[in-house]
Amino acid sequence: MTAGHSVGPVGKDTSPATVVGVDFGTLSARAVVIRADDGTELGTGAAEFASGAIERSLPIAAAGPLPPDWALQDPADWRSALGAAVRAALADARVPRESVIGIGTDFTACTVVPAMADGTPLCELPGLRERPHAWPKLWKHHAAQDQADRITDLAHERAEPWIARYGGRISAEWQFAKALQVLEEDPEVYGRVARWIEAADWIIWQLTGTETRNACTAGYKGIYQDGHYPSREYLAALNPGFADFADTRLAVPALSALGSRAGSLTAAGAALTGLTEGIAVATGNVDAHVSAPAARATDPGQMLAIMGTSTCHVMNGSFLAGVPGICGVVDGGIIAGAYGYEAGQSAVGDIFAWWIGQGVPEAYADEAGRQGQSLHEYLTKRTRGRPVGYHGLVALDWMGGNRSILVDHHLSGVIVGLTLATPPEDVYLALLESTAFGTRVIVEAFEAGGLPVTEFVVAGGLKRNHALMQIYADVLRRPVSVASSDQAPAVGSAIHAAVAAGVHADVRCAAKAMGRKEHAAYQPDRARADAYDVLFAEYRTLHDHFAPASNGMLHRLRRLRNEGGAS
């Protein structure tokens, strides 16, 4: 096995050295095999998680319903999808497994595993399998909002210095809110938790046999800033039983930088993946952040939006700025040596799918079928060429809550301007637009915070939606660049693997050698951009009206829903 900077043919084979990247999404794992020198994509493979996102009931016999806003996952799914996806990618690439000199992975976050000291997930222990709190909580588990509110409020009350790094709010999606929920709702399970570990790091543990913690999730999801977690005093004030949470369940001697080598593939890891024992395993990473080098968006001011079911916005900055409502700023959070800023929208593609899921008129379904188009394509086509605002609608894209800049998962969606003449495609278009408006709010928050956005780059499945990309260019009044790969996270993971294997000096160099994008693929149309300014002003008015600081209606309605009604 060759490593180091030489990336010519490996061993006696003539294949170039390759690296494998595996992206653990919400419903599946996708793997790529790429050349370690120039990033050429050689093959891909994917495998779904058998239980997907567990939102209604545990996948065990006689399981009762989960409460509202819960979302769990099964670690067994991760293991088996990993093995299947990597094997499929290798077969697709038609390269020998010996060509693979490193593997990198990325995960959804904060998806967090309550584990034993040896990494065994609690949900795999006899007697705990029926306990929902013993299962990994998926990123979109939104049932810890009360805990998150208390974490935020207490931080402000005590003037904790780290709260400003998170836009002033700690999300219900993150490690502390989720852990505090376990403590308060199932203290017995909490008592069994030895390690509270991001799935991003847990999977590396499976591959290397060693626990590591990456700088990205520790910073963004674990409130690790300036060398430490929140203090014992702070945690004790939240809940006396929580005082030692960080010291005992999170802490490791040192965090691992992104792009560093977490370790080498163990025999067990090799059996799991079908790769060669001993190859480099890159430090764990997050789907959004890991994509930046794949899309060549690692310089300060290059904002990368990874658009799929939800959107993550990541951008490097060369200095520390205060941007209210962002998810976080972490030193080395995207690449080592820069401040990584992150923001997001909880639901994007999920909103479009939700609307389609409400049903479409039979005639539409028939016509789409005849034309061989998806319903998404067909609805989009029906609005093609219409002037901006012809539908008289504006919507708030909060059907999955608001991650930035309000950081509140108990918000909900609003549609305004409906008439008896409003057809479903008009609502669909208004929903597409609402997500672009939501992104504009985020871009404006960055710029108001002193961080100019010099390039807007899109990766993720929605980059293939040309109409949507044009709307984003028009609404943002700026060109939209697009990552070339359809597998930006997996490619990004593979790039990190190449760095971990020593092929490139660092992630930024690797990005230049291996990343790909179409620069300014979409140009804003000036007239439409002007027209969208008008509609965006309405969006912003609605946004500020329904923001919880000025209006509790959405919270009150959510409470009604979560409590099962008022009667």
Residues that bind a copy of itself (CB under 8 A): 68, 347, 350-351, 354, 357-362, 364-365, 386-394, 399-400, 412-424, 427, 527-528, 530-532, 534-535, 538, 541-542, 545-546, 553-554, 556-558, 560-562, 564-567
Q: Check residue 127 and give left, alpha or beta (phi > 0: left; psi -120 to 50: alpha).
A: left
Q: First and final CA of the chain: distance in angstroms? A: 68
Least spacing, CB of residue 520 vs a copy of itself, in Å: 21
Reading the block at residue 222, the tokens are: 């674990």
Q: Tell me whether residue 268 or residue 560 sits nearer to a copy of itself (CB atom).
A: 560
Q: Tell me whether residue 6 or residue 541 sits nearer to a copy of itself (CB atom).
A: 541
CA pair distance 20, 12, nearest whole angstrom: 20
Q: How many residues does the chain have?
A: 567
Least spacing, CB of residue 371 vs a copy of itself, in Å: 17
- CA neighbours within 13 Å on the CB side: how many for 77? 25
CA pair distance 7, 23, nearest whole angstrom: 24
Least spacing, CB of residue 365 vs a copy of itself, in Å: 7
Q: Looking at residue 248, what DSSP letter applies?
A: I
As a dihedral over the C-alpha atoms of residue 452, residue 453, residue 455, residue 459, rounded to 10 degrees, the angle is 160
User: How many Cβ atoms sit within 10 Å of the Cβ of residue 64?
Assistant: 10
Q: Tell me whether residue 253 or residue 385 sits nearer to a copy of itself (CB atom).
A: 385
Whether the bond between 223 and the residue before it is cis, its omega within 30 degrees of 0, is no
Least spacing, CB of residue 387 vs a copy of itself, in Å: 3
Q: Is 468 helix (H, G, I), strand (E, B) or coil?
A: helix
- Could you tell me which residues are beta bridge partners of residue 315? 341
CA pair distance 173, 217, nearest whole angstrom: 12
Contacts of 445 (CB under 8 A, 6+ apart): 323, 324, 325, 326, 343, 404, 405
Q: Tell me whether residue 278 or residue 424 sits nearer to a copy of itself (CB atom).
A: 424
Q: Which of 346, 381, 389 is nearest to 360 (CA)?
A: 381
Reading the block at residue 303, the tokens are: 């904002």
Q: Tell me whether residue 267 or residue 537 sits nearer to a copy of itself (CB atom).
A: 537
Q: Tell me whether residue 2 or residue 562 sits nearer to a copy of itself (CB atom).
A: 562
Q: Tell me whether residue 48 or residue 525 sits nearer to a copy of itself (CB atom).
A: 525
Sheet holding 339-345, edge to edge: 328-331, 339-345, 311-317, 302-307, 455-459, 480-483, 517-522
Q: Tell me whether residue 129 or residue 540 sits nearer to a copy of itself (CB atom).
A: 540
Q: Tell me whether residue 291 or residue 346 sits nearer to a copy of itself (CB atom).
A: 346
Q: Which of 541, 540, 531 is nearest to 445 (CA)?
A: 540
